[in-house]
């Protein structure tokens, strides 16, 4: 049986003891309180307040007011049966200028959140950076500048000193591909720049920041702490087996995946990436010792997956160009891949226009397990946006999301059966929230949020996922094919 062949579900799947069942969020998407207790603007504050950048002129000024409602949100997590919660720290809240001492009121918020989680029996999983760079650091050049990576190392030390006694699982960066290539390449994310060379420089300095961050965490945290990174690795598939399509997939794999896996896990950039981008830069921004710094021992790798990426050589069957479902900007987020065309993969579509194909998650997890057999894996993001609404009965019925999550959990279970050391799954997202450039138009949450009243209503998928989390078992879902 191949990875993508259908397999009917015939029995309940039992996940390993100790498997973490969580949900994930990000600071700017949920916290609000954008100007309270010393917090200053991040690049996402600036970007969302720039006309035309975010759907409907939406901003994260209030978001879902988690800053003031976190105790209620933790209570929801406990009632749903979650055993872990992945959240990010707002750099602008704890070190507003990206320099100098921490703001204690900012750290106090995260101390209180972590204490609330621990009291509820929920393990905190902390992400240091989920895209919200302090605006002052962007004004000084942002991620294309080496100094930003150095500032990140100091910031990591501040947070570790404050929370290292109670948080055991730490992630340096979330999806640095988006930070570099959507933020500085296509411009559909903050800070909205469209310079392919700046995007490649940003990618390198994010790799360097990761390494410096790991070093700072190791120096400050107790030995029991686990340190990793979360990458949105692309499951890249060629449209055909023609040589041109295979080379297109190689190019996207290089600038989408191996640009991170190389320095972080292998200790060097892949040789084809500088060759693919040679017309743009000579990579002289990579200084001696940088890749060694980026290559730090890790306790786990976080994998974020939503949909596969289907590519061909330009001139193949189908439309030329495209961005692979990453916001539709006029500029490409794929430097060195101008001759690659992106195609809509087969399958049902979510509200994001992304195809539903859980076989991609299975293929990704098993391939990573083969390449890095000693490195534990967590699915740190997986989920889907649909057109959710509170019905006349006061409930939110979202069978499509249940089917999506069920299929992907089945893929995780098959990967575990195949030998992948997958230790947990974090649903994206706990709450409907500010979905970056899509504003509040797209709903990924297991919990519905009325943005006018901030009333939370767990969707049918939340109750279903809670039952899975409490039992550690994935029952058969009638009518849903296997992967």
Alpha-carbon dihedral of residues 283, 213, 98, 286, nearest 10 degrees? -10
Q: What single string gives the DSSP state of each residue in 247-265?
A: HHHHHHHIIIIIHHHIIII
Contact 382, 405 (CB under 8 A): yes
What are the helix (H) ranges across 345-459?
359-371, 399-417
Count of positions (residues) in the chain: 483
Q: CA-CA distance, 22 to 73, in Å (whole number)? A: 13
- From 282, 281, 179, 302, select the one nearest 230 (Cα to Cα): 302
Alpha-carbon dihedral of residues 79, 81, 83, 85, nearest 10 degrees? -50
123-129/84-88 β-pairing: parallel
Q: CA-CA distance, 454 to 443, in Å (whole number)? A: 14
Contact 431, 183 (CB under 8 A): no
Q: Which of 116, 145, 175, 410 is catalytic?
A: 175
Burial code (b: 16+ CB inside 10 Å, e: under 16) for 113-130 equals: bbebbeebebbbbbbbbb
Dump strand ranges (E) for 257-346: 300-304, 309-313, 340-343
447-449/456-458 β-pairing: antiparallel
Catalytic (active site) residue 145: no
Q: At what angle do helices 104-119 and 66-80 cross, to 10 degrees?
A: 20
Half-sphere exposure of 106 (CA within 13 A, CB side): 24
The helix/strand/coil state of 226 is strand
Q: Which of 116, 145, 226, 381 is catalytic?
A: 381
Dump strand ranges (E) for 281-339: 300-304, 309-313
Q: Cis peptide before 191, with omega less than 30 degrees from 0?
A: yes
Q: CA-CA distance, 420 to 412, in Å (whole number)? A: 9
Catalytic (active site) residue 381: yes
Active site residues: 175, 381
């Amino acid at each position: 049986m191949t990875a993508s062949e259908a397999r009917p579900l015939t029995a309940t799947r039992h996940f390993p003891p100790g498997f973490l069942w969580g949900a994930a969020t990000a600071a700017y998407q949920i916290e609000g309180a954008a100007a309270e207790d010393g917090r200053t603007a991040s690049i996402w504050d600036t970007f969302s307040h720039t006309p035309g950048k975010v759907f409907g002129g939406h901003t994260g000024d209030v978001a879902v007011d988690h800053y003031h409602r976190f105790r209620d949100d933790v209570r929801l997590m406990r009632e749903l049966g979650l055993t872990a919660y992945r959240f990010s720290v707002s750099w602008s809240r704890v070190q507003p200028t990206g320099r100098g001492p921490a703001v204690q009121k900012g750290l106090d918020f995260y101390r209180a959140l972590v204490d609330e989680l621990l009291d509820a029996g929920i393990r905190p999983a902390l992400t240091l950076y989920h895209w919200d760079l302090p605006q002052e650091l962007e004004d000084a050049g942002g991620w294309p500048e080496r100094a930003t990576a150095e500032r990140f190392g100091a910031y990591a030390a501040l947070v570790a000193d404050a929370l290292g006694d109670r948080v055991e699982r730490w992630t340096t960066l979330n999806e640095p591909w988006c930070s570099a290539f959507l933020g500085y390449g296509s411009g559909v994310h903050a800070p909205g720049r469209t310079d392919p060379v700046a995007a490649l420089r940003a990618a390198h300095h994010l790799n360097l920041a990761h390494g410096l961050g790991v070093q700072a965490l190791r120096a400050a945290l107790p030995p029991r702490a686990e340190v990793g990174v979360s990458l949105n690795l692309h499951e890249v598939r060629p449209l055909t087996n023609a040589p041109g399509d295979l080379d297109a997939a190689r190019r996207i794999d290089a600038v989408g995946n191996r640009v991170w896996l190389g320095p972080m896990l292998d200790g060097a950039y892949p040789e084809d990436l500088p060759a693919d981008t040679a017309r743009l830069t000579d990579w002289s921004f990579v200084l001696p010792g940088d890749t060694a710094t980026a290559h730090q021992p890790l306790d786990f790798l976080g994998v974020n997956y939503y949909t596969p990426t289907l590519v061909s050589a330009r001139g193949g069957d189908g439309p030329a160009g495209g961005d692979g479902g990453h916001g539709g900007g006029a500029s490409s987020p794929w430097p060195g891949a101008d001759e690659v065309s992106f195609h809509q993969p087969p399958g049902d579509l979510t509200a994001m226009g992304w195809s539903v194909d859980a076989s991609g998650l299975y293929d990704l997890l098993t391939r990573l397990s083969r390449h890095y057999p000693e490195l534990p894996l967590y699915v740190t993001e997986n989920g889907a946006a649909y057109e959710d609404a509170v019905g006349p009965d006061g409930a939110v019925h979202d069978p499509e999301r249940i089917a999506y999550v069920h299929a992907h959990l089945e893929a995780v279970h098959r990967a575990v059966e195949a030998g992948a050391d997958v230790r947990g799954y974090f649903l994206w997202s706990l709450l409907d929230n500010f979905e970056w450039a899509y504003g509040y138009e797209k709903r990924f949450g297991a919990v519905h949020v009325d943005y006018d009243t901030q009333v939370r209503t767990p969707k049918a998928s939340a109750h279903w996922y809670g039952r899975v989390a409490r039992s550690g078992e994935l029952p058969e879902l009638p009518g849903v094919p296997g992967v």
